[in-house]
Structure 1
């Protein structure tokens, strides 16, 4: 068992929640290991599904107002949300509703409980959750708890992708062109972390631009990918307006892109290292429930900063063990705008430093220790 940063018992003391997260991130395991007294309805269990399909009021009959009720994979039977809504209002009962596919809930006109349930996320493992964390092990396997550190992780991930295509895409009839979507998924992996260019992706995977746009919507709704929008507040330098796009797990990207093993200083290391930091920041914002956007900045004149959290923290990620002036050009260009409070570089540099013009240089270990231990809390909250 990995100690997860998401504290479900504490969240559920106050109200009901939707818990979203891709398949394999450990939602069911976390529920089993932390919500001991909950009544759990698993909709992947055919008998449970059939019972509740025929009679949703069984939930009320089998529980009392003080019982925490968990409905696992709620998107399988969204009609249950009407009964959940009724019990939250009438009984003040608390529910945890999990899902690995938000498409049916967000696009089907279903009852989303009128704000009576907040959203929480469970994402792949972070460095903070893995005892004796090893960066190369993570970059070469996955953040999915069941497969992290496994020598044959690539075989599991290949099967994971096949299951996703069969059970999420084909079975739900999300597209009539499964082979086209599979090609699209491989192209997205190859340009993971880059600005989204629909026309180029359309050309590479052989489907129409409008279809590519709809495919990105499917990735979002099935929780397989996420975009990082551009930071557009700069005045001196015009900002690029396209978003960057990442898949939710490094191992999934490597499997789709058919990558070999990555080592420090190898050609691919920098891209995977940046993806890793993106996933850490995304998880930090989700688990700490921070109401700030994760963005990036690129100017029309090609200055770039990898990540910006609100107007609080601007970060550049460099896979080098000696940060120098050429690595600071993007941060210095953004710093001229005087829009962000703190500027820093996350790198393989073994020692933390602070430049004369006010830019932090953090080793990746030091930065992540600070991030998860609360060092930045006063700045961000």
Structure 2
């Protein structure tokens, strides 16, 4: 399988020419690769907040970014901040630079949960929200054995293209548990959350029964409700609500 960059159907260039953008998506869906390989508007500055040294400096003094922008006398350009949820305090500086210098920001992240929980400045409509999902059909339609690969590996790009998908999938889950769940304090009982994650993985496109999941994962039903929301907030899971012809009718509960 060709590991070269796959062109994505999303196009942010027209939006970024006018306005800032929040780009959200699960881990490893290719947000950074998209900016590096495909975005036609090249950022004047980039900040990768996975860089621990950079992140610590900006957490200690968020104005460092503004100081750099002023030193370079940047106006009317694009700045890219990767994994913005790791330093929510930067968004006040982003807001100021949008207003004072007409700078447009591309702000990527794998979780909006931390931003929402912190009561962060979400720029009050000054940025549009876009999502980069795993591969979609037009991006892989020419691949041989496409359906078999999808069923075995899923559609997250590095797993779909991997020569060792089992190892990569295990590593992905371990990283998710360590960085998204344990580090953020989303679950006190990590082994129980791992059991829940295994049960949840069998429920794709099925109606959710919280009691059954709780029994299978051996945790209280109320905990399952909270953990399901964690999956949604970290973009590992998506919730499809029942269709109703009238908004007056109560939502179906199971």
Q: TM-score, normalised by structure 1?
A: 0.60
Unaligned runs of 5+ in 2: none
Q: 1 or 2, which has the higher helix percentage?
A: 2
Do 1:232 and 1:239's aligned partners in 2 also have CA atoms closer than 8 Å? no
Match of 2:137 in 1: 127
**Who is 2:244 aligned against?**
232
Paired residue for 1:13, among 17, 30, 45? 17
Q: CA deviation at 1:151?
A: 4.1
The 3 A distance-change label for structure 1 pair 240 and 77 is closer
Q: Which residue of the partner structure matches residue 59 of structure 2?
A: 53
Structure 1 stretches (4+) deviating beyond 3 angstroms?
Answer: none
Say which SS state the counterpart of residue 62 (structure 1) adopts: helix
Q: Which has the higher contact order (CA 8 A, sep 6+)?
A: 2
Shift of 1:185: 0.8
Distance in 2 of aligned mates of 1:51 and 1:104: 19
Q: 2:168 matched to 1:156?
A: yes
- Equivalent residues in 2 for 1:285-364, closer than 5 Å: none
Kindly tell me: are residues 92 and 179 of structure 1, through their superposed partners in 2, closer, same or farther at Cα, counting changes over 3 Å? Answer: same
Describe how 1:142-221 pairs up with structure 2 within 5 A: 142-221=154-233
1:174–1:145: structure 2 CA closer, same or farther, 3 Å change rule? Answer: same
Q: Which residue is equivalent to 1:314?
A: none
2:226 corresponds to 1:222: no
Root-mean-square deviation (CA, aligned residues, Å) is 1.9
Deviation at 1:94, TM superposition (A): 0.4
Residue 92 of structure 1 is matched in structure 2 by 102
Q: Which has the larger radius of gyration?
A: 1
Q: Rate the CA distance shift 1:223–1:206 in 2: closer, same or farther, 3 A.
A: same
- CA-CA distance at 1:147 after TM superposition: 2.5
Structure 1 residues 11 and 46, CA, compared in 2 at 3 Å: closer, same or farther?
Answer: same
Structure with a larger share of its residues in strand = 1
- C-alpha distance in 2, partners of 1:95/1:185? 34
Q: Which runs of 5+ in 1 are unaligned?
A: 244-381
In structure 2, the residue matched to 1:30 is 34
Tell me what 1:371 maps to. none
Q: CA deviation at 1:117?
A: 1.0
Distance 1:89 1:141, change over 3 A: same
Number of matched pairs: 240
